[in-house]
Amino acid sequence: MVKGSYDHAIWRSKVEETVTRVDTIILDNLIEENGISKATIKIDVEGGEYVVLKGLGRSLSHGNFTIIMEYLYSTDTGNFHHRAVTLLKETGYSAHYINAVGELECVENIDDYLRKEKLDSDNLVFRLPSSP
């Protein structure tokens, strides 16, 4: 969990914090060093989605990537999920949810979709318009 990302969540006060340090890499570097131009990337970093996507900035603009990440509903448009989605949309990606039969359906406004479906969160798929 990224420090501060869930400070206002009700459950946060009930969880004892522990710190685990892990080695990280910048995904742009990994992608460039290995000549990857197409991939599906699942991001599950408990509030660090925006930071991970910043490390994919060059690749998002030049590759054909499908990004899957959880999005939590929030009225705070400056929160980490909103910032991550804004970055993806600015790079040309559109959001999709997986419908009941397993097909992708485009969703223009994620918060409206979550409210309509009575969901607090959902895993969403982000793709470039030209992606199959």
Phi, psi of 57 (to 5 degrees): -50, -50
- pLDDT value at position 78? 76
Q: What pLDDT, in 10s, does the model give residues 91-122?
A: 999 999 999 999 999 999 999 999 999 999 99
**Could you give the C-alpha distances from 66 to 21, 38, 74, 93, 108, in angstroms and in order?**
28, 8, 24, 9, 17
pTM as predicted: 0.81
CB of 28 closer than 8 Å to CB of 56 = yes
- pLDDT value at position 132? 58
- Mean pLDDT, residues 7-23: 73
Q: What pLDDT, in 10s, does the model give residues 19-59?
A: 788 888 899 999 999 999 899 999 988 778 999 999 998 89
- Mean pLDDT, residues 10-21: 73
